[in-house]
Structure 1
């Protein structure tokens, strides 16, 4: 055991430093996202969702750093990654709208001037009615129309269309409870 530790001393130290940097960055970014969500009165569930996205991204970066530290043969990884990316490319191309909605959900988290409970009107000829925002999720926004109809509106369309604020915070949590 002692020989293994001495033989891979540099790699083990690099791994330890990488893990510490990962956890420190995750902590700092999580704290910043929570602070932003608190200052902007954003739902905690949305903040946790963004933190999850950031954690997955940081973990992927950590994995790449560990591969470089341990000196894994790039040719072997290249073959593996090219196969994985070929499959992912076909799958992601088929579901580009899902990625578009997910990206729009992240953008809406950081910059969306409307909150849950606001009455809005989307400038869309297919959606001429006003509605109350029930929830803002990763892929869509749940809207409640005046006739009680629940509508899920894709995040990417919400960024593409104009949105008019009719009234701020018209509904209370108690009003929205049966629909959540």
Structure 2
């Protein structure tokens, strides 16, 4: 029968890893919240980025635990490549979801426009002039002068030319 003494190094290393994970989670959360506060970013956008950061830390912690408990690195690479292949094939049909999530993260950190800005999207087939109502993980919610609500994908916000119009709707009266 195996005793705790035989696995004492692994148990200690796992405990240290757990403490490190807790410290890194706390530190990254505080950093993202501080960044969001200085840039006046909305809370739900900030929470989304915090969740992504925590997911990344969990994946790293799982890989570290696997290495601590003696799994060979080539076995990890083999399993990771197999999983990546399966996920990659499944996501090829869902590339737009992945690109919208990535675009949402880029929009969060680059902060080219904010809620309340009136923008013009330069699309030759469907030009839009609207005010940004909300910026979500997948979509930007736009409200036109006529009161129409347009839900626009984040990835298109990065692909299309966009102008930020100053005081465009201020001189006009909105009518319900």
Smaller-chain TM-score bracket: 0.7 to 0.9
Tell me whether 158-167 or 30-39 shows the greater mean CA deviation. 158-167
**Whole-angstrom distance in 2 between the partners of 1:112 and 1:77:** 37
State the match for 1:90 in structure 2: 89
State the match for 1:58 in structure 2: 57
Which stretches of structure 1, 4 residues or longer, exceed 6 Å deviation after superposition? Answer: none
Larger helix percent: 1
Give the alignment's TM-score, normalised by structure 1. Answer: 0.84
5+ unaligned residues in a row in structure 2: which ranges? none
State the match for 2:9 in structure 1: 10
The number of equivalent residue pairs is 171
Cα offset for 1:87? Answer: 2.0
Cα offset for 1:5? Answer: 2.4
Query: Does 2:128 correspond to 1:123?
Result: no
Cα offset for 1:77? Answer: 5.1
State the match for 1:24 in structure 2: 23
Cα offset for 1:85? Answer: 2.5
Give the alignment's TM-score, normalised by structure 2. Answer: 0.86
SS of the residue 2:134 aligns to = strand
State the match for 2:69 in structure 1: 70
Tell me whether 38-47 or 73-82 shows the greater mean CA deviation. 73-82
**Whole-angstrom distance in 2 between the partners of 1:155 and 1:129:** 15
Cα offset for 1:76? Answer: 5.9
5+ unaligned residues in a row in structure 1: which ranges? 176-180
**Whole-angstrom distance in 1 between the partners of 2:165 and 2:78:** 55
SS of the residue 1:116 aligns to = coil
Contact 2:122 2:128 in 1 (8 A): no
**Whole-angstrom distance in 1 between the partners of 2:74 and 2:112:** 48
Cα offset for 1:30? Answer: 0.9
Contact 2:130 2:142 in 1 (8 A): yes
With over 3 angstroms needed to count, the CA separation of the structure-2 counterparts of 1:127 and 1:4, relative to structure 1, is: farther
With over 3 angstroms needed to count, the CA separation of the structure-2 counterparts of 1:81 and 1:140, relative to structure 1, is: same
**Whole-angstrom distance in 1 between the partners of 2:164 and 2:110:** 15
State the match for 2:158 in structure 1: 159
